[in-house]
Amino acid sequence: DSGVTQTPKHLITATGQRVTLRCSPRSGDLSVYWYQQSLDQGLQFLIQYYNGEERAKGNILERFSAQQFPDLHSELNLSSLELGDSALYFCASSALRQAGTEAFFGQGTRLTVV
């Protein structure tokens, strides 16, 4: 158990809908990262928050947004969903702001858009 909790584990929704994925980082970790994992793209970095502030953006679509709350949990909001958004979404947390320290991954949320 990595200590990172993601909910829900599975989500099935229709195209055009909006969903929210939730992540609770390891106790004491201030950095939260979101990754998308699809079969042909591997793990793609979406966005990072550190202590409530956005720190880095990767290949995140404009239809997607995220935030980190004062209790350090994070939510990833996906809207106007398309079939191609079906993927595993992982949250990871680490203690420090920079990369180069161990990032702990949650078990992921499998999103299926039908």
Partner 1 sequence: QQQVKQSPQSLIVQKGGIPIINCAYENTAFDYFPWYQQFPGKGPALLIAIRPDVSEKKEGRFTISFNKSAKQFSLHIMDSQPGDSATYFCAASASGANNLFFGTGTRLTVIP
> Judging by DSSP bridges, how do beta strands 74-78 and 64-68 pair with one another?
antiparallel
43 in contact with partner 1 (CB under 8 A): yes
Cβ proximity to partner 1, 19 vs 92, nearer residue: 92
Closest CA to 90 of 27, 29, 40, 47: 47
In DSSP terms, which residues pair with 33 in a beta bridge? Answer: 48, 92
Cβ proximity to partner 1, 28 vs 42, nearer residue: 42
Residue 56 Cβ vs partner 1, minimum distance, rounded to whole Å: 4
Q: How far apart are the first and last CA of the chain?
A: 31
Residue 105 Cβ vs partner 1, minimum distance, rounded to whole Å: 3
Cβ proximity to partner 1, 15 vs 53, nearer residue: 53
- Residue selected from 45, 75, 79, 86 as contacting partner 1 according to rule CB under 8 A: 45
Residue 74 has which token pair? 């994070």
